[in-house]
Amino acid sequence: MTATADPDLTAPAFTGPGLPAPPAHAPRSVLATVHQAFLARAIYTVVELGVVDELAHGPRSCAELARVLDVAAEPLHQVVRGTASAGLLRSLGGTGSDEVFALSDTGEMLLPGHPSATRDLVLMMQGPTVLGCLDALPDRVRSGRTGPEVAHGRTWFENLRADAGLAASFDRMMVAIHGGEYSAVAAAYDLRSARTVVDVGGGTGGLTVALLEANAHLHGVVHDLPDVAARAERTLGRAGLAHRAEVSGGSFFESVPRGADAYLLSYVLHDWTDDDCVRILRTVAAAMTAGARLLVVENVLPTGDEPHPGRTLDLLMATLTHGRERTEEEYRRLLARAGLRLRRVVPTASPVSVLEAVPGSDPEHGA
């Protein structure tokens, strides 16, 4: 394919006296990022078509896989070969569609029921619900409406409440994304002086389980909407912690259990606007005694352009919700508006930090 430049439509010149010649290719960082979109789709394809499930029974050639799965062998080979480059499959030799592949140890994490929930992450993030929202990102920015509102006519959380299957997939995806952070938080933050911790908006209770396992003296309460709290009750039971924990159904915009030593807000505030965050924080602050503390578990964005996993997560939040990731100063200001003072930020061996806040005004920002 060739193109002829229209002299009226040519781009402005980037060269001139004293100016260096610009590169004749796109930046490698842009190329790599754009190409990653194809690799992500290839991983989704080998899961969605059943390639991973077939390879769980042993190595297969792409020709064999194509016959069993009733798909075209040549593009299948290209997709499988590309997925192997990500370390999920291993080539055992062969040419073209006769090339034989096996699951790698990493690829086995894509199998149904694997505790990492990697399969659920792939199917959710590359599935039609999220991809439709991602497709709508330009309109989301133009209009201010979230991706789910543009693509599906309702908010992300309304989608979850309306579709039990989607909600279950979302719960499992949260394990894949945040499961490794639970133990990091439990190891980094000292709860020896606390007796009761309330996990506000605690979802299915994964963080509460990690904290109770790391602190044998601790009693936990998972507070979330009633249907979510019921799922947390099952999680606590499976972990053998039902005798040291309980669930509480309700909205954190209205009330939370009173009188605990510590309150958790883990990956809650990043879902909401500043004003909504202040409403949530004021609800929690109203339940806290003078000696209680609030632990906000979130990515804390560095200032400037320093790379951080939270920056990618921020793009996800911009696509799906009205929430966002924040810097330490932004969290300090939110807390101050709710009558809470940021006392310290505790880093963990994961991307998240624990922002410890206590009742009282911030001398710099006021209440």
Task: Pull the structure tokens for residue 301.
Answer: 């964005």
Q: How far apart are CA 221 and CA 229, in angstroms?
A: 10
Task: Pull the structure tokens for residue 94.
Answer: 């062969």
The structure tokens 């500043």 sit at: 274
b/e map 15-47, b = 16+ CB within 10 Å: eeeeeeeeeeeeeeeeeeeeeeeeeeebbbbbb
Q: How far apart are CA 300 and CA 367, in angstroms?
A: 22
Give 173's contacts (C-beta < 8 A, 6+ positions apart). 117, 120, 121, 124, 125
- Mark whether 35 is an active-site residue: no
Per the residue annotation, which of 77, 178, 270, 322 is the catalytic one? 270
Give 64's contacts (C-beta < 8 A, 6+ positions apart). none
- Beta strands 89-93; 100-103: pairing state: antiparallel
Give the Å distances, CA to CA, from 239 to 10, 180, 196, 225, 253: 64, 16, 18, 21, 29
Cα–Cα nearest to 259, from 214, 198, 315, 171: 198
Query: Tell me, what amino acid is at 309?
Result: P
The structure tokens 């991983």 sit at: 43
DSSP assignments along 239-280, one per residue = TT-GGGEEEEES-TTT---SS-SEEEEES-GGGS-HHHHHHH
Catalytic residues: 270
